[in-house]
Amino acid sequence: MYSFKNDYSEGAHPRILNALLETNMEQVEGYGLDRYSLQAIEILKQRIKRNDIDIHFLSGGTQTNLTALSAFLRPHEAIVAANTGHILVHETGAIEATGHKIISVEVNDGKLRSEQVKTAVDIHGDEHMVKPRLVYISNPTEIGTIYTKGELEQLSRFCRENKLFLFMDGARLGSALCSEENDLTLADIGQLVDAFYIGGTKNGALLGEALVICNDRLKDDFRYHLKQRGAMLAKGKVLGIQFLELFRDDLFFDMARHANEMANLLRQEISGAGCQLLTDSPSNQLFPILPNYLIAKLQENYSFIVWEKIDEERSAIRLVTSWATRKEAVLAFIDDLKNSIAK
């Protein structure tokens, strides 16, 4: 049974494990103040091309989202998100549990546009309703689509003109940045959003996300919020060492490129076999629409998520590739799919 269920089934890249092992017995400061974390922060500042940003390491995506968004908002303020947004659908109400409403906006491709945000803002027009204050996006989106630089620029402009914070969930940001269709850089993102995070968990780290706060108004007392939410690790070096290893050269991007290459191979062959895709996803998530009998056959040898019912005969599945996805497993899946179709 080979898994295409997610991009965190494996542990971590061997280089990261080796770095953790080699530094295991060193005594360092705790709570993210160790020399490895501080060095990783400086390297990330160079990558983002901004020295005036604050960077904090947290253990996971949901923890990062709820800690950051609850810190950025006053009690009556709300978040605008796409109806497919991760914080809305797949985080068990973590944001709402902090006391902040998520305003859901219907979208077709997972991406928010300024006109859709404007509609949500206009509806919430007085103190009898929550006040939209922050726009949440993810790149890639929950359905694998990515933002272009022009799209992000337009959304950023609208948010600034309307006093809205713009936050980007980057759990799979490596895949977005390494997509063949991408025209954004880390430096672009650092200029266009108020805060974002760089996901390590889903790109070869054992665990960890790097939260980047770009807007000065969001920086004050953030370490207090980390501590209060249980996000300040005593052994913070475990996160810092990993991000230092990821970004001291191009390991982070090399792993994301591999995941995308495996996804591209799947996409080409699945489309070539005459199967339709639910979304135009240029990242490491694919959503082929297959007959239910074929899905059942493939499930004998492969693990994946059945994403959405299309009709009585067909469903969309989700295939996710990772830094560790083996090419021979991809080719085997393609052969099994084609052979099952032929029968």
- 58 pairs with which residues across the strands? 209
Q: CATH number of the domain at 142, please.
A: 3.40.640.10
Q: How far is CA 180 from the centre of its chain?
A: 17
Residue type, position 6, single letter: N
59 with 189, same domain: the answer is yes
Helical residues (DSSP H) of 49-179, grouped into ranges = 61-72, 86-89, 94-97, 114-123, 149-161, 173-177
26 with 91, same domain: the answer is yes
24 with 134, same domain: the answer is yes
169 with 106, same domain: the answer is yes
277 with 233, same domain: the answer is no
- 131 pairs with which residues across the strands? 77
133 with 192, same domain: the answer is yes
pTM of the shown model? 0.97
Count other Cβ atoms within 10 Å, centred on residue 62: 18
Q: Quote the pLDDT of residue 342.
A: 73
236 with 330, same domain: the answer is no
240 with 95, same domain: the answer is yes
- Tell whether 4 is covered by a domain: no
Q: CATH number of the domain at 293, please.
A: 3.90.1150.10
Residue 288 backbone dihedrals phi, psi, to 5 degrees: -70, 145
Q: Considering 249, 267, 289, which residue would you say is the last residue of a domain? A: 249
- Tell whether 6 is covered by a domain: no
259 with 222, same domain: the answer is no
Domain limits at 158?
14-249
The pair of three-digit structure tokens given for residue 330, joined into one six-digit string: 């991809």
- Tell whether 113 is covered by a domain: yes
- Tell whether 3 is covered by a domain: no
**Rounded distance between C-alpha atoms, residue 64 and residue 48, angstroms:** 19
Q: Considering 200, 219, 249, which residue would you say is the last residue of a domain? A: 249
**Rounded distance between C-alpha atoms, residue 310 and residue 291, angstroms:** 10
Q: Considering 229, 249, 269, which residue would you say is the last residue of a domain? A: 249
Which DSSP letter does residue 194 get?
S
User: What's the total number of domains in the chain?
Assistant: 2
**Rounded distance between C-alpha atoms, residue 213 and residue 128, angstroms:** 31
Identify which of 71, 137, 65, 58 has the alpha carbon closest to the alpha carbon of residue 94.
65
Q: Quote the pLDDT of residue 343.
A: 67
- Tell whether 300 is covered by a domain: yes
233 with 267, same domain: the answer is no
CB 123 within 8 A of CB 80: no
Q: How many helices (H) and strands (E) does the chain have?
A: 14, 14
Which DSSP letter does residue 265 get?
H
19 with 72, same domain: the answer is yes
206 with 79, same domain: the answer is yes
- Tell whether 36 is covered by a domain: yes
**Rounded distance between C-alpha atoms, residue 38 and residue 43, angstroms:** 9
> pLDDT tens digits, the chain, 343 residues: what are they?
999 999 999 999 999 999 999 999 999 999 999 999 999 999 999 999 999 999 999 999 999 999 999 999 999 999 999 999 999 999 999 999 999 999 999 999 999 999 999 999 999 999 999 999 999 999 999 999 999 999 999 999 999 999 999 999 999 999 999 999 999 999 999 999 999 999 999 999 999 999 999 999 999 999 999 999 999 999 999 999 999 999 999 999 999 999 999 999 999 999 999 999 999 999 999 999 999 999 999 999 999 999 999 999 999 999 999 999 999 999 999 999 999 887 6
Q: 195: helix, coil or strand?
A: strand
